[in-house]
C-alpha cells in the first residue's frame, strides 16, 4: 500500500471513476431529441448539491473546507438557475401561440 494514502480515499476515487464512466455511457445512449429535457431535469436535481454545500459550510472549521463549500454552492446555484431557464425556454416551445386577430373592417 502507498504510504499516506487512506483506504477511504481509494474507495471514493474508485466510486468517482465508475460514476464518470457510467454517466458517460448512459448519456451517450440518449437520443438527441431527449438530451435537452434530460439535462434540464438533472440540473434541477443538482439542487441536492446546494444542500450538501450548506452542510459542509455549516460544519466547516478549516478555511479550505469553507472555500470548497462556497465554490460548490456557487456552481450548484448557477447550474440550478441555468436549468430553470433552459426548462422554461423549452416549455415555451410547446405553448400554443394565439392566432392573430384580423381586425379588418368590412369594405364598403
Chunk the chain into consecutive blocks of 10 residues (it has 108) and report each block's average pLDDT, rounded to whole numbers: 69 91 85 72 75 85 87 86 80 76 64
Chain centroid, CA 15 distance in Å: 20
pTM for the model: 0.55
Task: Cell numbers for 26, please give them.
Answer: 448512459
| Residue 108: predicted pLDDT | 59
The closest of 99, 93, 88 to 44, measured between CA atoms, is: 88
**Contact 50/73 with Cβ under 8 angstroms?**
yes
- The CA-atom distances, in angstroms, between 93 and each of 11, 12, 80, 101 are 44, 41, 20, 21
What's the maximum distance between 2 C-alpha atoms anywhere in the chain?
97
Residue boundaries of the structural domains of the chain:
1-30, 33-93
Amino acid at each position: 500500500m502507498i504510504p499516506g494514502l487512506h483506504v477511504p480515499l481509494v474507495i471514493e476515487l474508485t466510486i468517482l471513476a465508475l460514476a464518470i464512466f457510467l454517466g458517460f455511457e448512459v448519456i451517450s445512449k440518449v437520443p438527441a431529441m431527449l438530451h435537452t429535457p434530460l439535462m434540464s431535469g438533472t440540473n434541477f436535481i443538482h439542487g441536492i448539491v446546494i444542500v450538501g454545500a450548506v452542510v459542509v459550510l455549516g460544519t466547516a472549521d478549516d478555511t479550505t473546507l469553507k472555500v470548497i463549500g462556497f465554490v460548490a454552492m456557487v456552481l450548484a446555484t448557477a447550474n440550478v438557475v441555468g436549468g430553470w431557464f433552459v426548462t422554461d425556454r423549452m416549455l415555451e416551445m410547446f405553448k400554443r401561440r394565439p392566432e392573430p386577430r384580423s381586425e379588418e373592417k368590412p369594405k364598403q
